[in-house]
Structure 1
Amino acid sequence: MNPDDLIAEIEAGPRGPHIAAFFDLDGTLVHGFTATHILRDQLRRGQVGAGDLARLVLTAVDGELGGDPTRAGDLGISALRGHLEDAMTEMGERLFVQKIAGTIRPQARAIVKAHQRMGHVVVLASAATRFQTGPVARELGIDHILCTELEIEDGVLTGRVVGSFLWGEPKAQAVRRFARENDVDLGQSYGYANGDEDVAFLASTGRPHPIAPGRALRATADLQGWPVLDVVEPLRRGVRSVLGTAAAAGGLNAGLVAGAVLGAVRRDKRAGTNVGIPLACDAALALAGVRLDITGEENVWKARPAIFIGNHQSSLDPVIMGSLLRRDFTGVSKAEARFDPRMVAASLFLDPVFIDRSNSGQSREALDALTDRIRSGTSIMIFPEGTRMPTPEPGPFKKGAFHMAMQAGVPIVPVVIRNAGQLLAPRATVVRPGTIEVCVLDPIDTGEWTAEDLNTIVPEVRQLFVDTLEKWPS
């Protein structure tokens, strides 16, 4: 079954909180296993001994060969004995940002949002702990979590479980108990999972949907007539990606050099920049195997100069904006980016403004100088979140871009970048080939704005990004 068809089916069905959607975590909402990241982190920090690791591996193998797979979970939890609850919470949040956020399946995110639009109760049901499930649930706006709860005494983990390890039938029991306690009609509710152990969990719902299921679950789905949801797995880095990334870096530099030579020959830096930047960005994207699918491209040219604001999840975003804006623009970045090697060549051409947010006086002076450049015909590219986000959900927008637009009397043009993080995640170094979707929204007139209005206007503009990402224009 296609995810788009499923979403259409959900939106054509009944509304209301008497219907629930239960989502498994590992392999369903996220690609892979969140526990793997915890184990690697603890090994790297010396928090898991060799004996504990050996017992965990042997138990996991035994589970694959027909033994009790919950023993691996019990051993993993017992290895946490003596850990501070606060430290585990911090670790869960850190690993979410560093590792797990980028593994959330885009299709699963879209399905969750479809249920939320319909007013359904959305529940994350998993054998994982709250340290793993909590950040993912918060990111997706899921209010209810059924998970393996760990016993904590005086802020310290005891290495024991409260109640049952939610694997197999205990997970199904937890779902049925939740339905009874919350007046949920399980017969009309949805279940999503990928594991062979989740047959009982899915069978508890009236609308089970295996997602990228294992062999045994797929066989059960075929037997029961359950619609299988096939999703696109995350792109993997390979030789093409590595070679393409190296070629892209070379193409970027070659384009910049060509622009510099032209500027020197003509004794016109601006002319050189206007040739070098689009040449460099186009070459980098093409050599990396990245294609842009642009909606609303005419809005790039409707009102120049302007403040072009974009959501920011990937290091590809400035290159995308450069290819899109092409000429007569510069950028704004945080002060520490001045020392980023990747910024050196671009800085020579664009002459961006670096703002030290810890120094309000310097920030005001820099923004005033930038306002003068805007009035002279230079557009501005800025990412108002201030840093790359670990997930596609836009972070809070800072007000600097909006103040600049007001002072210079130019419009704001939102540029929504949909999936750059799938091709180059926030901490990744290799670009995967693929298509990035970009939507340039209509320019927003700032002529009637006042400083007092910004507390309302800034969240409203951010919401345009959220709405566009959720309902991409055809």
Structure 2
Amino acid sequence: MIRTFFWYLYFWLYMLFSLLLVIPVILLSLPGLHKQREKYIQFTVSTWAKSLIRAAGGTVQVTGSEHLPEQHTICYIANHQGAFDIPIILGHLPGAPGFIAKKELALLPIVNIWMKSIGCLFIDRSNRRAAIASITKGVKQLQSGKSIILFPEGTRSRGPKMNSFKQGSLKLPIRSRTPIVPITISGSYQLKEEKGRIHPGTVSLTIHQPIDSTGYREDETKRLSDELTRVISSAL
């Protein structure tokens, strides 16, 4: 209970402090400073993410870093066990990839500023037309050189087993012809219980060999989904 209290206290104090950290993001938005802005955002977000895990008493064991492609634009595709999956990925994978989030998070003070800075896509799951528009925006984002992380399960499994993948989001790497790097997250559900209590624990993050998205047509999302499920589940 004490750890949980101090974790949430730390989270919101850091969020308030991060308002000062937003100032360089604004200043670095000037023409000619794009690379410096991206480096600053990646460093700041990665540092924040790792600190959240440490504050929870968590440790992350990473294997397979040698499988990361040299090119910086990657579509990471991972299973989704718990609320700490986002900090785990932002803290331990390069590029501070954006991710698809429900539209309600766009209204969360301070947090939404940083989500937008890393290129998160906010989606209205109840509106099919808006969801399609988000996929189109995601394709353009990948083509522009910004990495994205996808969680095809759509929601947290809250346990060691994977839910079935929803195939719609898999059109992003196929349309953009971006390399896919499958990611297995194992144990993250233990760090935060369903009731919000924080617990220490060890999480395994496995980076698998890249999959060439050009080997799939847009009508082959089922085949891609089956392959990703096989690869990701192999490390659970």
Alignment TM-score, normalising by the size of structure 1: 0.45
Deviation at 1:285, TM superposition (A): 1.7
Cα pair distance change 1:453/1:423, threshold 3 Å: same
CA distance in 2, matches of 1:320, 1:264: 26
State the secondary structure of the residue aligned to 2:213: coil
State the secondary structure of the residue aligned to 1:362: helix
Which protein shows a greater Rg? 1
CA distance in 2, matches of 1:288, 1:390: 17
Cα pair distance change 1:371/1:348, threshold 3 Å: closer
Is the 1:303–1:411 Cα contact (8 Å) retained in structure 2? no
The answer to whether the aligner puts 1:438 opposite 2:205 as a matched pair is yes
Deviation at 1:317, TM superposition (A): 0.7
The answer to whether the aligner puts 1:323 opposite 2:91 as a matched pair is yes
State the secondary structure of the residue aligned to 1:293: strand
Cα pair distance change 1:432/1:249, threshold 3 Å: farther
Cα pair distance change 1:266/1:340, threshold 3 Å: closer
CA distance in 1, matches of 2:26, 2:177: 33
Residue 449 of structure 1 is matched in structure 2 by 216
Residue 10 of structure 2 is matched in structure 1 by 247
Deviation at 1:459, TM superposition (A): 2.1
CA distance in 2, matches of 1:328, 1:320: 11
Is the 2:78–2:151 Cα contact (8 Å) retained in structure 1? yes
Residue 279 of structure 1 is matched in structure 2 by 47
Residue 26 of structure 2 is matched in structure 1 by 264
CA distance in 1, matches of 2:199, 2:128: 39
CA distance in 1, matches of 2:95, 2:16: 17
Q: Which amino acid aligns with 2:10?
A: A
Matches within 5 A, 1:182-261: 238-251=1-14, 254=17, 256-257=18-19, 259-261=21-23
CA distance in 2, matches of 1:291, 1:301: 25
Cα pair distance change 1:442/1:271, threshold 3 Å: same
Matches within 5 A, 1:15-414: 238-251=1-14, 254=17, 256-257=18-19, 259-267=21-29, 268=33, 269-340=37-108, 343-414=111-182
Q: Which amino acid aligns with 2:9?
A: A
Aligned residues: 230
Alignment TM-score, normalising by the size of structure 2: 0.85
State the secondary structure of the residue aligned to 1:387: coil
State the secondary structure of the residue aligned to 2:204: strand
Of structures 1 and 2, the one scoring higher in RCO (CA 8 A, sep 6+) is 2
Percent identity of equivalent pairs: 22
Residue 458 of structure 1 is matched in structure 2 by 225
State the secondary structure of the residue aligned to 1:454: helix
Moved more, 334-343 or 442-451: 334-343
Deviation at 1:315, TM superposition (A): 1.0
CA distance in 2, matches of 1:363, 1:262: 32
Q: Which amino acid aligns with 1:465?
A: I
CA distance in 2, matches of 1:417, 1:283: 18
Deviation at 1:281, TM superposition (A): 0.8
CA distance in 2, matches of 1:284, 1:406: 33
State the secondary structure of the residue aligned to 2:234: helix
Is the 1:260–1:276 Cα contact (8 Å) retained in structure 2? no
CA distance in 2, matches of 1:381, 1:289: 25
CA distance in 2, matches of 1:258, 1:278: 17
Q: Which amino acid aligns with 1:455?
A: K
Gaps of 5+ in 2: none
Deviation at 1:294, TM superposition (A): 0.6
Deviation at 1:386, TM superposition (A): 0.8
CA distance in 2, matches of 1:257, 1:298: 35
Deviation at 1:251, TM superposition (A): 3.9
Deviation at 1:301, TM superposition (A): 4.6
Cα pair distance change 1:395/1:280, threshold 3 Å: same
CA deviation map 1:41-72 (0-9, x unaligned): xxxxxxxxxxxxxxxxxxxxxxxxxxxxxxxx
Is the 2:135–2:169 Cα contact (8 Å) retained in structure 1? no
Is the 2:72–2:95 Cα contact (8 Å) retained in structure 1? no
CA distance in 2, matches of 1:258, 1:405: 35
CA distance in 2, matches of 1:468, 1:253: 37
State the secondary structure of the residue aligned to 2:148: strand
Is the 1:314–1:388 Cα contact (8 Å) retained in structure 2? yes
Cα pair distance change 1:251/1:290, threshold 3 Å: farther
